[in-house]
């Protein structure tokens, strides 16, 4: 993960938005742990799923405001997860995480690896706000 601004500036920026519930779906514990640590420090409540199948079990219980999912995971890709969520009637914004330059059709946004912390904060905050507006 990278960021041009200092961590304290980014956290202050992230705190401007209303904290939300974020589900991170990634089969790499280091990546999901780093995302969790940053987002919880910014005030968000975070849950982690190691696979798309796990995410589908967690979503009804955790009820996230936004989902961050890796594109390439064993068993179920990020795109497969998005399709399964939409078929189940889950309409929260889903942000795709990818190390490959792709066009994320159907996703709220794209976070490219390595992460830019300011972009992470901006896209998660925008997705939370968008999701809450859509449910109001």
**Helix, strand, coil % (nearest 5) of the chain?**
45, 20, 35
Distance CA 23, CA 16 (A): 20
Which of 1.10.3720.10, 3.30.260.10, 3.20.20.60, 3.40.50.2300 is the CATH number of 7-135?
3.40.50.2300
Q: Classify residue 116 by its DSSP letter.
A: B
Residue-range domain boundaries for the chain? 7-135
- Whether the link from the prior residue into 93 is cis, omega within 30° of 0, is no
Tell me the whole-structure pTM to 2 decimals.
Answer: 0.85
List, for residues 18-77, the tens digit of each pLDDT value. Answer: 789 999 999 999 999 999 999 998 889 999 999 999 999 999 999 999 999 999 999 999
């Amino acid at each position: 993960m990278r960021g041009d601004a200092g961590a304290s500036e980014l956290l202050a920026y992230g705190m401007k938005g209303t904290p939300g519930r974020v589900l991170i779906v990634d089969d790499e514990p280091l990546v999901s742990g780093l995302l969790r640590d940053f987002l919880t420090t910014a005030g968000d409540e975070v849950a982690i799923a190691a696979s798309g199948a796990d995410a589908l079990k967690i979503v009804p219980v955790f009820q996230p405001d936004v989902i961050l999912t890796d594109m390439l995971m064993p068993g179920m890709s990020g795109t497969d997860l998005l399709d399964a969520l939409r078929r189940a009637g889950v309409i929260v914004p889903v942000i795709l995480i990818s190390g490959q330059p792709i066009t994320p059709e159907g996703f709220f946004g794209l976070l490219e690896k390595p992460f830019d912390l300011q972009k992470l904060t901006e896209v998660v905050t925008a997705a939370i706000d968008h999701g809450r507006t859509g449910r109001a």
